[in-house]
């Protein structure tokens, strides 16, 4: 099979997710067809297409940088959120509202530990992670009458991994391991027990649609920001180092333009027919886009590295410590250079 870079010399194939969060980005890229050809798929499909060379670059889930050794950041561009995007939710029903006080108290305790480790400003991230782990080890595990259940999604989305990371931080490693054993022992159709999951995980388009159905919900991007003091990077423009990725400089110009237009007026990207939520109300895409940005700053890259490091205990196919550390250090060294390409 020919790779995308050799199939047609005048076209660069770029993989993008089928999600409203990246809609403005896709709209800008489509203006330059056939110079840039958009290939849409979900996270798993984008990973496969990039692995097989069907696309030159793809906005793959950020967790793919850990799961696929040959994937590297092509440009400091992706889908990053600070707060207010509601692209990933833990929904609580009336039956599970008692969990709210436990979660709220734990968020405050975790925020103090992360501040103490100074992850948001340290120059030695590896040492700060060591300090963080010491602080987390000394943090008392919350007392729980029953094991909180969570709808476990098996897709490749980084939101799914973030939900697991946050569950492990809030309820403890033992509770997370118990959750996995419960889910594995109940088969692939397990959905949190007879009363439904304590934490009903919804992501991307489904989160926007289902948000209005919950008595209370947690925005996981906002929760991550509150605890760590850093943004969350859900997707990153990635390339396969085994294949040639061309047009990076011209692509950088297009992506910078998209970022600038997003900052001025995101509502210019609204579709003719607005999507509707579960109550048949129009979904406020403009508010969601105002909580999203595409150009990744040094703060975004720091948040990405912290997330991937915390995800390591959860990932069954995580890279070796030495290889991951080298990749982490290389990204930190390239922060200034890569940001300069989008200046």
Q: Where is average pLDDT lowest: 61-75, 252-266, 287-301?
A: 252-266
For residue 169, which of 137, 122, 128, 145 has the smallest C-alpha distance?
A: 137
User: What is the extent of the structural domain holding 275?
Assistant: 4-81+232-340
Question: Which of 169, 202, 228 is the C-terminal boundary of a domain?
Answer: 228
Identify whether residues 94 and 206 lie together within a single domain. Answer: yes
- Residues in a beta bridge with 129: none
Domain end: 197, 228, 259, which one? 228
Q: Residue 274 maps to which CATH number?
A: 3.40.190.10
Same domain, 116 and 70: no
pLDDT for position 146? 87
pTM of the full structure: 0.89
Query: 264 and 156, same structural domain?
Result: no
Distance (Å, rounded) from C-alpha 315 to C-alpha 310? 10
Rounded CA-CA distance 287/200 in Å is: 23
Give the total number of structural domains in the chain.
2
Distance, in Å, from the CA atom of 301 to the CA atom of 298, rounded to the nearest integer, reads 5
Q: Same structural domain for residues 11 and 92? A: no
- In sequence order, what are the residues at sequence separation of 6 or more whose Cβ sits closer than 8 angstroms to the Cβ of residue 133? none
Which tokens hold the place of 81?
């959120």
- pLDDT level of residue 11 (50, 70, 90 thresholds): confident
What pLDDT is stored for residue 196 in this prediction?
A: 74
- Considering the domain architecture, whether residues 56 and 106 belong to the same structural domain is answered as no
pLDDT for res 189: 47
Give 180's pLDDT tier (boundaries 50, 70, 90): confident
Percentage with pLDDT > 90 across the chain: 51
In terms of domains, do 176 and 252 share one? Answer: no
pLDDT at residue 52, rounded to an integer: 94
**In this predicted structure, what is the pLDDT of residue 51?**
94
What does the angle CA 114 – CA 118 – CA 124 come to, to the nearest 5 degrees? 125
Whether residue 20 is found in the same domain as residue 138: no
Q: Are residues 114 and 221 in the same domain?
A: yes
Q: Does 331 share its domain with 274?
A: yes
Reduced to 3 states (helix: H, G, I; strand: E, B; else coil), residue 294 is strand
Calculate the average pLDDT of the chain: 84
If asked whether residues 173 and 61 sit together in one domain, one would say no
13-51 pLDDT, tens digit each = 999 998 999 999 999 899 988 889 999 999 999 999 999
Please give the structure tokens belonging to residue 85: 């995007």
For residue 120, the model assigns a pLDDT of 72
Instruction: Choose between 265 and 216: higher pLDDT.
Output: 216
Q: State whether 199 and 148 are in the same domain.
A: yes
Are 317 and 216 part of one and the same domain? Answer: no
Classify 219 as helix, strand or coil.
Answer: strand
Name the domain boundary from 228, 246, 265: 228
Residues 119-177 pLDDT 10s: 777 777 778 888 999 999 999 989 888 889 998 776 678 999 999 999 999 999 999 99
- Look at residue 338 and give its three-state secondary structure: helix
């Amino acid at each position: 099979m020919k790779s995308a870079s050799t199939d047609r010399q005048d076209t660069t194939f770029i993989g993008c997710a089928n999600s409203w969060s990246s809609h403005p980005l896709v709209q800008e890229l489509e203006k330059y067809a056939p110079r840039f050809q958009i290939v849409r798929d979900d996270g798993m499909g984008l990973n496969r297409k990039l692995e097989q060379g069907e696309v030159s670059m793809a906005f793959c889930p950020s967790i793919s940088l850990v799961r696929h050794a040959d994937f590297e950041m092509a440009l400091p561009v992706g889908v990053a959120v600070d707060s207010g995007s509601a692209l990933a939710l833990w929904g609580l029903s009336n039956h599970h509202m008692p969990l709210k006080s436990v979660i709220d108290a734990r968020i405050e305790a975790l925020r103090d530990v992360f501040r103490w480790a100074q992850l948001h400003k340290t120059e030695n991230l590896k040492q700060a992670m060591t300090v963080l782990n010491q602080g987390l080890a000394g943090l008392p595990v919350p007392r729980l009458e029953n094991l909180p259940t969570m709808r476990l999604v098996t897709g490749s989305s980084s939101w799914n991994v973030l939900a697991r990371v946050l569950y492990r931080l809030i309820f403890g490693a033992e509770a997370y391991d118990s959750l996995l054993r419960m889910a594995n022992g109940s088969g692939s159709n397990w959905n949190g027990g007879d009363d439904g999951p304590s934490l009903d995980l919804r992501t991307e388009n489904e989160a926007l649609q289902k948000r209005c159905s919950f008595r209370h919900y947690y925005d996981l991007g906002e929760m991550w920001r509150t605890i760590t003091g850093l943004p969350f990077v859900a997707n990153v423009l990635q390339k396969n180092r085994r294949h040639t990725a061309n047009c990076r400089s011209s692509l950088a110009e297009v992506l910078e333009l998209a970022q600038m237009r997003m900052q001025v007026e995101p509502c210019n990207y609204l579709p003719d027919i607005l999507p509707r939520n579960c109550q048949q109300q129009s979904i406020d895409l403009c508010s969601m886009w105002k909580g999203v940005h595409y150009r990744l700053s040094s703060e975004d890259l720091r948040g990405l590295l912290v997330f991937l490091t915390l995800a390591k205990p959860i990932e069954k196919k995580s890279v070796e410590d030495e290889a991951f550390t080298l990749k982490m250090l290389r990204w930190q060294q390239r922060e200034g250079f890569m940001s300069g390409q989008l200046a």
